[in-house]
């Protein structure tokens, strides 16, 4: 074994079980640069890059987003990053428990128990444990959006959820058909997605592109979107980037 031992993108894809698109994205965001570029722009990786990729995948399995992973690998504290993630998980557990209690009370009511008060019906949705995280990551505007959502009645919330489901299923079908992200029908679907997002807040080019990146960088978003089709979060991110460049300011 020599220090010149190297692997191409295709070989790394087979070894690590990641897609070439993921490797390109890691390169674009500065998380994993190739050791060199071969003929035709082919990426070349060596052992230090494989070690770094292994570490990325371990941290990703633990639920860290790409910004947190980058901070750890570039000299930050892995323990601090894991503690922050642990706290997010604790808040999520609390949210799910409140939702479970709400559902249990709804079942009791429908089976003849005491009726829920209007306040009880929506308390689990108002008390959003992600509000502080949203404020830290995206500023006061994000919290304003959350407060707006918390004020929706049941019919409005159901209508918004149905719109999300429809647009994601539409995009998943296009992805599975092999339509490229810049195809007119895909861009029409992204326009519908932008219209759906605009029910919360109206993003411009930079904000909408950033939202697309977040769909891939944050495992919570990725899991939700990929439930409609494996790889949909990345497909949507790339389609959003095309749409934003062509249509938004």
- Name the token pair of 121: 């019906």
Beta strands in the chain (DSSP E): 6-8, 36-37, 43-46
CB 211 within 8 A of CB 239: no
Written as one string, the DSSP assignment of 128-171 is -TTHHHHHHHH-HHHHHHHHHHHT--HHHHHHHHHHHHHHHHHH
CA 242, CA 190: separation in Å to the nearest integer? 9
- Maximum CA pair distance of the chain? 74
The set of residues, in sequence order, having a beta carbon less than 8 Å from that of 116 and lying 6+ positions away, is: 105, 106, 109
Residue 119's nearest CA partner among 158, 157, 155, 150 is 150
pLDDT, tens digit, 9 for 90 and up, residues 215-236: 888 887 888 888 888 899 999 9
State whether the Cα torsion 217-237-14-4 is positive or negative: negative
DSSP-assigned letter for residue 30: T
The yes-or-no verdict on residue 1 having pLDDT over 50 is: no
Judged by DSSP in three states, 43 sits in strand
Provide the pLDDT for residue 130: 47
pLDDT, tens digit, 9 for 90 and up, residues 79-96: 776 677 677 667 667 667
pLDDT, tens digit, 9 for 90 and up, residues 170-216: 999 999 999 999 999 999 999 999 998 888 778 888 888 888 888 88
CA 168, chain centre distance (Å): 13
pLDDT, tens digit, 9 for 90 and up, residues 152-178: 666 776 777 788 889 999 999 999 999
pLDDT, tens digit, 9 for 90 and up, residues 24-35: 888 888 889 999
Mean pLDDT of 93-102: 72
pLDDT, tens digit, 9 for 90 and up, residues 2-16: 457 899 999 999 999
Q: Is the pTM of this model over 0.85?
A: no
The set of residues, in sequence order, having a beta carbon less than 8 Å from that of 157 and lying 6+ positions away, is: 125, 149
CA 145, CA 148: separation in Å to the nearest integer? 5
Residue 128's nearest CA partner among 148, 154, 157 is 148
Provide the pLDDT for residue 20: 86
Q: Which residue has the higher pLDDT, 165 or 242?
A: 242
Q: Which residue has the higher pLDDT, 101 or 228?
A: 228
pLDDT, tens digit, 9 for 90 and up, residues 34-58: 999 888 778 899 998 998 898 888 7
pLDDT, tens digit, 9 for 90 and up, residues 114-160: 777 766 666 665 555 444 444 445 444 544 555 555 556 667 767 77
């Amino acid at each position: 074994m020599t220090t010149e031992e190297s692997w191409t993108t295709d070989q790394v894809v087979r070894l690590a079980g990641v897609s070439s698109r993921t490797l390109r994205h890691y390169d674009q965001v500065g998380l994993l640069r190739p050791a060199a570029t071969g003929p035709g722009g082919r990426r070349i990786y060596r052992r230090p890059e494989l070690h770094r990729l292994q570490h990325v995948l371990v941290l990703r399995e633990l639920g860290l987003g790409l910004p947190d992973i980058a901070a750890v690998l570039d000299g930050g504290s892995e323990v601090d990053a894991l503690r922050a993630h642990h706290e997010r998980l604790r808040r999520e557990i609390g949210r799910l428990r409140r939702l479970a209690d709400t559902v249990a009370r709804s079942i009791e009511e429908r089976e003849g128990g005491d009726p829920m008060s209007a306040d009880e019906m929506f308390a689990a949705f108002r008390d959003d444990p992600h509000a502080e995280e949203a404020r830290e990551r995206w500023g006061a505007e994000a919290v304003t959006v959350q407060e707006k959502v918390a004020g929706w009645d049941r019919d409005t919330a159901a209508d918004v959820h149905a719109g999300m489901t429809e647009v994601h299923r539409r995009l998943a079908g296009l992805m599975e058909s092999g339509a490229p992200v810049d195809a007119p029908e895909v861009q029409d679907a992204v326009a519908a997605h932008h219209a759906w997002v605009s029910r919360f807040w109206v993003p411009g080019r930079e904000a909408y592109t950033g939202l697309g990146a977040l769909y891939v960088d944050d495992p919570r978003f990725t899991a939700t979107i990929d439930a409609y089709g494996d790889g949909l979060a990345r497909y949507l991110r790339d389609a959003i980037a095309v749409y934003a460049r062509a249509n938004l300011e």
